[in-house]
Amino acid sequence: MTEIWLVRHGQTDWNLEGRLQGQLDVPLNETGLKQAQSLAETLRGKPFSAIYSSDLMRARQTAEIIARVVNLPITFDKRLREISQGQVEGMLFSDVIQKFEGALADRTRNPVESRLPGGESVAELAERFRDCVDEISRQKYTRPVLLIAHGLAIATILCQARGYPMETVYSHIQENATAEVIEWNPPA
């Protein structure tokens, strides 16, 4: 059993604008940098074994700020990226509603298996992310592990760890630069 601290990256301008970031490489804004530094200070002195992070810039910047404070190296892993939003990445959500109304209606009816055009389903994201968390847990760390990633990606593992129905995944997206703690036991 591994204690994992799931950290969502700090704020980006696209978070504020309502743009779908997906796997596009968007940096933290000034607020996001301050949020990451504030979170890092709350983590100071806590005994962590390792830091794992998505390789996307917003997660990478958050991880680097935290790593300087907790004095650990970072392992970057593409499996910790956010869901691929396909053709709608970079679009305002209000525009997606107008141009992809059918795909969004399908996502409402079937949030786990549906996908936006050219994108990935929540089920695929959950499997990709879980595989990485399983691999991390098999390292048999004796102290907690920090994992810095993205809202929906983290929500998939929260659902799995806490027994929430995956259909409720969108209601478990945490705020920017906050941590959720889970206990994870990978399958044998």
* pLDDT band at residue 88 using 50, 70 and 90 as cut-offs: very high
Query: What is the per-residue pLDDT for 188?
Result: 73
The domain defined by 2-184 folds into Rossmann fold (3.40.50)
Mean pLDDT (whole number) for 70-96: 96
CA-CA-CA-CA torsion sign (117, 152, 108, 162): positive
The model's pTM is 0.95
Active site residue 82: yes
Mean pLDDT (whole number) for 79-89: 96
**Domains of the chain: which residue ranges?**
2-184
Alpha-carbon distance of 185 to 188, in angstroms, equals 9
Active site residue 89: no
Closest CA to 130 of 151, 108, 109, 156: 156
* pLDDT band at residue 105 using 50, 70 and 90 as cut-offs: confident
Q: What is the mean pLDDT of the chain?
A: 96
Alpha-carbon distance of 19 to 96, in angstroms, equals 9
Mean pLDDT (whole number) for 146-171: 97
Mean pLDDT (whole number) for 126-137: 97
Closest CA to 52 of 79, 82, 74: 74
Catalytic residue among 30, 82, 101, 135: 82
Catalytic residue among 9, 89, 120, 180: 9
* pLDDT band at residue 144 using 50, 70 and 90 as cut-offs: very high
